[in-house]
A and B are shown apart, each in its own frame.
Chain A
Amino acid sequence: MQTLTHTLLPQLSAQGHPRNPGMPLDLDWVASAQANTSAIERRAATLPGRRSVKKDHQAAWLCKAVSLIDLTTLSGDDTAGRVQRLCAKARQPVAPWMLERLGMTGLTTGAVCVYHDMVATAVRALEGTAIPVAAVSTGFPAGLSPLHLRLAEIGESVADGAAEIDIVISRRHVLTQNWQALYDETAAMRAACGEAHMKAILATGELGTLRNVARASLVCMMAGADFIKTSTGKEGVNATLPVTLTMVRAIRDYEDRTGFKVGYKPAGGIAKAKDALVYLSMMKDELGHDWLQPDLFRFGASSLLGDIERQLEHHLTGAYSAANRHAMG
């Protein structure tokens, strides 16, 4: 199973970067991390105005965005049927005639992201594809169940075939600046993931300050996170550009000091094709081309794909599109 993960799933290792092994907790580094909220907000506010991609370039960038989506359903009313439909959409995210005309036949989403109970269903539905299944885990979304159960949950999802585990951190450790506890817990989760890649969800909307976001990002990377991710999608505020800037700067610092590349996943609130383009240009400018590949970047999104489909059809036909012309996920 673990070997299969590597051979079948280029989303996890397309570029051959070594996994982040983590490092001992460096509290001096954590304490020195700064994030000036006002300056970060101003930078974020100008980002959409600084970059623009048009015509064929825009179409190509939108296809790229599709390839980076963790197509997600995380609802209490999820059923096997619902998950199967989602997986079918992941396999064929854009209508075949459109992909053919774009020269992008074979395009799939980056992954499918579900609760543990749906992992097996999703794995079966995606058989024969290179699309990994990501499972949200560790008492998602609050992360307040007993630690041994949270760790056990990871093991079960991995056993069911999840190649990626989206864990949630204990926000209380950040809010009380208990970095040691956060590190220990996150390191234990990484160990529990084994060969599965770990995305650490910071739930940034509940961390209070961007400085906390920066410090929590560093601690999670030190603890061996393969990805750091903004949100569960269940907090009041999910992925934002200021939070993203803060986290990608932490990723850049981490690579500077350790040589290891850690992935980034904004999740929640990214619903428009235009937003996706801003995120992509930001990744390209702040971290570089490597972070435009699925092993280092994902969108956690459910409705984004629909808007991208409509924009792509507009690109092909010149006429503005309608949602009902595209298959539901």
Chain B
Amino acid sequence: MTIKEIFDTMSYGPAPESSAEALAWLAKHKNSFGHWIDGAFTKPGQTFATKNPATGTELAQVTQGTDTDVTTAVAAARRAQPKWAALSGHQRAKHLYALARLVQKHSRLLAVLETMDNGKPIRESRDIDIPLVARHFYYHAGLAQLLASELPEQRPLGVCGAIIPWNFPLLMLAWKVAPALAAGNTVVLKPAEYTPLTALLFAELTREAGLPRGVLNIVTGDGETGAALTAHPGTDKIAFTGSTSVGRKIREATAGTGKALTLELGGKSPYIVYDDADLDSAVEGLVDAIWFNQGQVCCAGSRLLVHEGVADRFYTKLKRRMDGLRLGDPLDKCIDVGAIVDPVQLASITAMVDANTQGTTYRAACDVPAGCFYPPTLITGLSAASTLMQEEIFGPVLVSMTFRTPEEAVALANNTRYGLAATVWTENINLALDVAPKLRAGVVWVNATNLFDAAAGFGGVRESGFGREGGWEGLLAYLRPATAAKPLKRITAFPEPKTPVIPDLDRTAKLYIGGKQARPDGAYSQPVYSPGGKLQGHSGIGNRKDIRNAVEAAHAAKSWARTTGHARAQILYFIAENLSARAPEFAARLRDLTGTNGQPEVDAAIDRLFTYAAWADKYDGQAKSVPLRGVALAMNEPVGVIGMLAPDEAPLLGLISLMAPAIAMGNTCVIVPSEPFPLAATDFYQVLDTSDLPAGVVNIVTGPHADLAKPMATHLDVDAVWSFSSTPLSAAIETQSAGNLKRTWVNHGKARDWFGPQAQGREFLRHATAVKTIWVPYGE
């Protein structure tokens, strides 16, 4: 074309970023890589190809990690860990700072290599991924520096296994490696099989940063390698980002091992456009939501909910914008949408969309190159029941439906198994700030989308996983309390004597469900004896239906979450007051049940209620300092309905130690009290009954822990299960929790001193809450 012809057509023309340096780096390694273990590359083993999805050409051969490779890497990490943890925070900070600087110094090489391996547009890897990587290491250099003074009671976990996805290869590495290293852990990381190259380049940079050998190890391979790392007994934590189905397997595989676990999984995040929104900006937001990284983004705003009155206008604007998107060579600086990561993923997207028969499908009228590309697609007129409205497509496909009222938008938004992110567009601050807390998601963006920063926690609720990455809350996922726990002995009920002493008047303890005393569904009871053989009464033997009823009652009481901290504090104080009024009776009951003086336990229980009454309005969220004109609010939201197996050994204090932080933070709960000594709990519901606690906030089901743990752990409408039972149930609960990926907090057979400081405080509050990050950019 002549210049005059271009002058007339004003076409863009090619604007390629050079791949020469990246190819030279690959060639330097003879296009063949082993693992990075103990500070050096191993010799390549059995290898497989990693390809450029935009061209289909092979970039390099990488090694399929074997069990032996994983073991070698974990051993290297284990050797390196004590020394790394023994470094001062400042020394670790200097290493992380050096890594941040090196990422910046090699930013273009990293960006180009990322684009070649993944298929994402160079604009994104250059302007988003790599700068966020550097930012993450800078931020965590700071956390390393401050850790000892700010979190003096915390210790590193040890060796962390990290398994990361292919959609943001180096960024996800940073999200795992930076906090792990800052906290004093060492790492074995397995990059995704499609996109291992930037991790290997980064490994090389760690040598330039002077990172001690073995602190970071990279083992490449496919899902088998990941499974080996997950199963390896030498890892103390698994941090996984990827699909919900694999996350579920990892939950099951790590169950009962005592390994810490964080899962950042899939999503079907709602993108709500209210009728007073700046529609053009909301359209641009969608470009950044669902056509960012070809829609292969776990938190992609993939489920568009539009106010019915503006839907037609909005769709018109959206379609026109779609038509203007430019698909093509990801290395071209003038491209909006690049290649799908792999033909397998392309086939999956294609199959899901082709199987849909509902609504109206609009494909962007832009040129689609041959190969691994999929056109930006919009499917309107779907209903909540449509498969594509529920299932994650993980491609550049937006599905949409309309709503009528603000409340209906929230209901539709929450009508999903997932809960990763949500986006809200409205010019009305009242509406925005009302809706944001109601959305079941770990991250909410107001009038923006896909904003990320190292200071702001990111992570999901429901089947989008648990744990946060970024911020102090993210660092805590790589730490544990300093105290070492002793094993917990099994505690059993006192046996029925040959000649029991029978009290004068029979007293019938019932279950406590929805604010009412309820007989157990099975109509079975068991006698409870004192150590001296005196019959203390009978307790109901609850079954799975009682758990079901209790969970329903707990859900019916969910308005508890919207009461103020002050109001919750008042009720906790009132419970303490009423317990205090009956202190001698409870002390006597505890003595009769356990054979020890009950007064100290009653006193401690009242003290504990005061503690959480105090906390109810003081466990503050944070306004995060993010690089944006706006705020990122970290709100401590209640987890939801928490099922609890209370400690056996402290029948009253143990129950209150779990119940009080949970309800102080706005949760509702279903508590199975001490199995051998249940009658303190059944006395206690009378106290609850007289303390203005709304019905259903606390439900008590007595019975055998082994029987009741399963219906609780498998219940798909329970958000968390805590177990401090002396029955060894930790493994079973963690396994069974995989159904809806509920959060678990179990004792792994370790004792806790319920009278001591480790039986209360921030650890309990953290488990009773989930951080929701609400991004509110502002400016007029």
Contacts and interface: CB of A to CB of B under 8 A. Distances in A.
B347 interface: no
A82 interface: no
Best-surrounded residue of B2, B13, B778 (most CB of chain A within 10 A): B13
Nearest to A54: B15
Interface stretch (A32-40, A117-125, A133-141): A32-40
Given A35-B278, A104-B3, A49 B10 contact: no
Interface string B92-112: 000000000000000000000
B324 A38 contact: no
B150 interface: no
A146 to B, nearest CB: 33
A281 B778 CA distance: 27
B294 to A, nearest CB: 16
B4 interface: yes
A60 B12 CA distance: 10
B397 to A, nearest CB: 22
A103 B4 contact: yes
B15 A34 contact: no
Contacts of A54: 13-15
A292 B334 CA distance: 18
Contact of B10 (A209, A249, A252, A280): A280
Contacts of A37: 779-780
Interface size range of chain B in the complex: 35 or more
Nearest to A33: B278
Contacts of A209: 780
A64 B3 CA distance: 10
B3 A292 contact: no
Contacts of A284: 10
A57 interface: yes
Contacts of A56: 1, 3, 6, 13
Interface stretch (B45-53, B199-207, B280-288): B280-288
Interface string A54-76: 11110111011001000000000
Contacts of B3: 56, 59-60, 63, 102-104
A314 interface: no
B629 interface: yes
Best-surrounded residue of B14, B15, B281 (most CB of chain A within 10 A): B281
B14 A43 contact: no
A39 B448 contact: yes
A148 interface: no
A64 B8 CA distance: 8
A63 B3 CA distance: 9
Contacts of A211: 780
B123 A49 contact: yes
A184 to B, nearest CB: 28
B278 A53 contact: no
Interface in B266-310: 276-282, 284-285
Interface in A244-258: 245, 249, 252, 256
Contact of A36 (B6, B334, B427): B427
A155 B217 CA distance: 78
Nearest to A292: B10
A104 B447 CA distance: 45
Contacts of B15: 52-54
A33 B3 CA distance: 40
B51 to A, nearest CB: 26
Tell me the dominant secondary structure on chain A's binding face: helix
A36 B447 contact: yes
Nearest to B6: A60
B11 interface: yes
A38 B13 contact: no
A249 B282 CA distance: 13
B21 interface: no
B79 interface: no
A60 B7 contact: yes
Best-surrounded residue of A37, A59, A211 (most CB of chain B within 10 A): A37
Contacts of B777: 38-39, 42
B779 A38 contact: yes
B627 to A, nearest CB: 12
A38 B12 contact: no
Contacts of A325: none
B369 interface: no
B630 interface: yes
A7 B76 CA distance: 82
B127 interface: yes
Contact of A52 (B334, B779, B780): B334
B13 A53 contact: yes
Contacts of A55: 13
A56 B7 CA distance: 10
A249 B4 contact: no
A177 to B, nearest CB: 15
Interface string B629-658: 110000000000000000000000000000
B12 A43 contact: no
Interface string A9-43: 00000000000000000000000001111111111
A38 B448 contact: yes
A57 B336 contact: no
Contact of A34 (B10, B285, B427, B629): B427
A289 B278 CA distance: 25
A242 B774 CA distance: 25
Contacts of A281: 12
A36 B777 CA distance: 10
A285 interface: yes
Contacts of A272: none
A38 B6 CA distance: 35
A39 B227 CA distance: 42
A211 B277 CA distance: 12
B778 A285 contact: no
Given A49-B123, A209-B780, A57 B284 contact: no
B544 interface: no
Contacts of B5: 60
A243 B12 CA distance: 24
A53 B7 contact: no
A46 B127 CA distance: 9
A51 interface: yes
Contacts of A34: 276-279, 427
Contacts of B11: 57
A209 B7 CA distance: 36
A284 B10 CA distance: 8
A46 B630 CA distance: 18
A103 B2 contact: yes
Contacts of A46: 127
Contacts of A35: 278, 281
Interface in A97-151: 102-104
B558 interface: no
Contacts of A50: 123, 334, 336
A244 to B, nearest CB: 13
A40 B242 CA distance: 32
Nearest to A281: B12
Contacts of A52: 15, 333-334
Interface in A273-313: 280-281, 284-285, 289, 292
B629 A38 contact: yes
Given A49-B123, A59-B3, A209-B780, A40 B281 contact: yes
Interface string A145-181: 0000000000000000000000000000000000000
A302 B780 CA distance: 30
A211 B123 CA distance: 30
A135 B13 CA distance: 37
Given A36-B277, A52-B333, A103-B4, 12 more contacts: A34-B278, A37-B779, A38-B630, A38-B778, A38-B779, A39-B282, A39-B284, A39-B285, A40-B281, A49-B123, A53-B13, A53-B334
15 contacts: A35-B281, A36-B427, A38-B448, A49-B126, A49-B127, A52-B15, A52-B333, A53-B15, A57-B11, A60-B3, A60-B5, A60-B7, A63-B3, A64-B10, A252-B280
- A-B interface, 7 closest residue pairs, ranked by CB to CB distance from nearest: A57-B13, A60-B6, A39-B281, A52-B333, A52-B15, A36-B278, A38-B777
